[in-house]
Structures are given as structure tokens and as C-alpha cells.
Amino acid sequence: MAHEAATAPLPPAPAQAVPAALLPGRRPPVRTCYGALDLGTNNCRLLIARPSEEGFTVIDAFSRVVRLGEGLAMSGRISEAAMDRAVAALAVCGDKLRRRRVSLARSVATEACRRAVNGRHFVERVKQETGIALEIIAPEEEARLAMLGCHRLLEPGDGPALIFDIGGGSTELVLVDADGVGIPKIKCWWSAPWGVVSLTESEGRDFKDGAERLAAYGRMKERVRHAFRRFSELLPPPGDNIRLLGTSGTVTTLASVHLALPAYDRRAVDGLLMPAESMRGVNDMLSGMSIEERSQLPCIGAERADLVVAGCAILEAIMDIWPAKTLGIADRGIREGILRSLMARDGHKL
């Protein structure tokens, strides 16, 4: 659904531990570490950080593909195998949070848990087995956190900007007014029920030849365009100074392919400004390849080979409704948004 956002400051986000109220003139409370955990439809990611003059310094991290939403589109449930994979990853996260003595953390779950009929049961199991209190957040909060985490990488300018996050089970889009000073003002947002897992499962994975692969790719693009149709009606007419910024495994993977990196390098990808036409060229190349051919590309590999084309279809649909000349790439998002929210509540200037 769409949401016309007010221009008032965004409300503070909840957390697993609430800091004491600050008195005027008092220094922020001293916390050794803050934690941010994002359990998505495809990935489980954790960041642990300390405040610093530059914002924050990451002292520990974890990421694992868990495919929590595998089969969800057909069954409406999180499977036992998917829950087992996710719980195993979350147990590692719980150990890291305890070992680092994290004093304030927020752990969120997104589309798979929102959609699954047994999502609450899974959250209870996670609490019992790992000690982590997962919070199933609404799409609006997911979009807000992604924007908070990456908006500093927006291309300089004074035109409207679209920030998007392609997930495993959904895609969030946020239209903002941003002049580079402070937190951008959200004008409207949208959540579409297509991510790389759900869209891949809508078509399947086995095609006999390139023609079938391209036909399936075309159908995926049409599904996403239809899902974006009402949001596109809320967007202002695109001018020459519009900006586009993406945060997700899809855009960072595709940027790595564009750069022909022998292995993923965050320093080369995070903050990259890429010509939109070059990204379309990468999409065209990958959509015609077989899974085996895509798996041979070093920054895709077997883990992403079956899902990356669905990401290409979603990305192309976004570039169609918001035809910016360049695409900004962010290897940061929900976790960084959580960390900034928590630290700001404690009075740290970020």
C-alpha cells in the first residue's frame, strides 16, 4: 500500500532495551556496543558497532543466506527446514551479541515473517532457542530504516530522489526530498510483494533454452510493473535532476559484475555511481544466461545464480518508472538505519 508521509520528524524506533531519558546538558550514556539484526526472506545479517566521530565503527558482523521464505509463496508457511537454517544462523548472532556485551540492540524480521501463517510461531521458537527477540516490522518501518541507513550516499543535487530496497520477499521504495542536510523528508513510500525469492518462485528455475529464459524474464518484469503501477502515479514527472539509489544484495551484486571484480569488494561498490544504461546492459546479459553460466561469475556464484535474474527484473521496473541517468549503489541499509536510530536516541550525533 502507499502512504502519504507527513513532514514531521520520524518517531524513534523501538529497541530491545530502552535507554534512560537524557537530561539537558548531560552527556550521552556510555554504551560499549550497539547491535542491529535484520532477518530477511533470504538473508540473516548482523552488525555490532560503537559510536565514533565518523558516525560509528563496526566491530563485528555476520551474514548468511538462510532462504527463510523458500516455498512460502506456494504453502503460505515457513518450512521446518527454513526455520532450522534461520535458527542456526540466529544462534551465531546471539553468541556474538553476548560475547561483545551489546547493551542495546534491535532485531527485526521482514516480509517472510509478515506473510507466513506461522510467522509468530517462528518468532517464539527463535526467542526460546537463541534468546533473540525478533520484532516483525511493517513495510513502512522497513522502508524508513533502509532510507536512514543509506541516504548519505545519494548523488549530490536538489531534485527528488527515489531510494529502493530489493529484498527476498518484497521491494520497498521511498520518494524523498533531500538536499544533503539532515535526514531526507519522506514524500511517499510503497511496498510491492515481489522480491528475488518470491518472484523467482513465480516462474520456476528450469528453462530449456535462452528463448524460454527471456520469456520468463519478460513475464517477471510485467508482474513487477503491475505491482508498481499505483506508486508510479504518485511520482512527480521525472526531470533532468532526479536521483536514484539502491540498497540490496541485487544492486551490489550487479555492480560487482559491471566492475568485473574477481571477488566482492565493498570498498569498490559502496557509494558507486553507475550509468543506468550500463546497469541495463548487465541485466540483459544475465537474463539470457543459464543458471550454470551465471554461477561461474565470481560475484554471483552458486548461492545467487538462481535468484539474481529476478532482481534484474525488479530493478529494470524501477528504472522504468524513475529513469534517472545514474544509479547509486549502497552496501548499507536496514542494519545501519537501526544503528543510527539507536545511537541518536542515546544522544550521539550522527
In this predicted structure, what is the pLDDT of residue 110? 96
User: Are 307 and 170 contained in the same domain?
Assistant: yes
User: Are 251 and 115 contained in the same domain?
Assistant: no
User: Are 245 and 293 contained in the same domain?
Assistant: yes
User: Are 192 and 69 contained in the same domain?
Assistant: no
Structure confidence by residue, pLDDT tens digits, 283-299: 999 999 999 999 999 99
User: Are 104 and 62 contained in the same domain?
Assistant: yes
Q: Compute the average pLDDT of residues 221-245.
A: 94
pLDDT confidence of 3, banded at 50, 70, 90?
Answer: very low
Question: How high does pLDDT run on average in the chain?
Answer: 90
User: Are 214 and 293 contained in the same domain?
Assistant: yes
Q: Identify the CA nearest to 122 among candidates 167, 61, 63, 81.
A: 81
Q: What residue numbers bound the domain in which 295 lies?
A: 140-333
266 within some domain: yes
Which parts of the chain fold into alpha helices (H)? 72-75, 80-99, 111-115, 119-130, 139-150, 196-203, 210-234, 249-259, 266-269, 276-287, 291-295, 301-304, 308-321, 334-345
3 within some domain: no
Q: Identify the CA nearest to 249 among candidates 87, 85, 43.
A: 43
What pTM was computed for the model? 0.88
User: Are 326 and 339 contained in the same domain?
Assistant: no
74 within some domain: yes
User: Are 133 and 146 contained in the same domain?
Assistant: no
CATH assignment at residue 193: 3.30.420.150
In this predicted structure, what is the pLDDT of residue 35? 98
C-alpha cell at 40: 530477511
pLDDT confidence of 24, banded at 50, 70, 90?
Answer: very low
In this predicted structure, what is the pLDDT of residue 55? 84
CB 111 within 8 A of CB 168: yes
Q: Compute the average pLDDT of residues 129-144.
A: 96
* 316, amino acid identity: E
1 within some domain: no
Which parts of 179-264 fold into alpha helices (H)? 196-203, 210-234, 249-259
The sign of the dihedral angle between the CA atoms of 1, 202, 275, 149 is positive
**Contacts for 83 with CB less than 8 Å, ≥ 6 apart:** 68, 122, 125
The sign of the dihedral angle between the CA atoms of 146, 152, 155, 158 is positive
Report percent pLDDT > 90 for the chain: 79
Angstrom distance (rounded) from CA 310 to CA 287: 9
Structure confidence by residue, pLDDT tens digits, 138-184: 999 999 999 999 999 999 888 899 999 999 999 999 999 987 678 89
pLDDT at 95 over 90: yes
CA angle 341, 345, 348 (to 5 degrees): 90
Structure confidence by residue, pLDDT tens digits, 305-318: 999 999 999 999 99
In this predicted structure, what is the pLDDT of residue 208? 78
350 within some domain: no
CB 333 within 8 A of CB 248: yes
253 within some domain: yes
CB 336 within 8 A of CB 148: yes
User: Are 176 and 134 contained in the same domain?
Assistant: no
2 within some domain: no
Angstrom distance (rounded) from CA 46 to CA 335: 7
User: Are 185 and 100 contained in the same domain?
Assistant: no
Crossing angle of helices 308-321 and 210-234, in 10° steps, is 40
Q: Compute the average pLDDT of residues 225-241.
A: 92
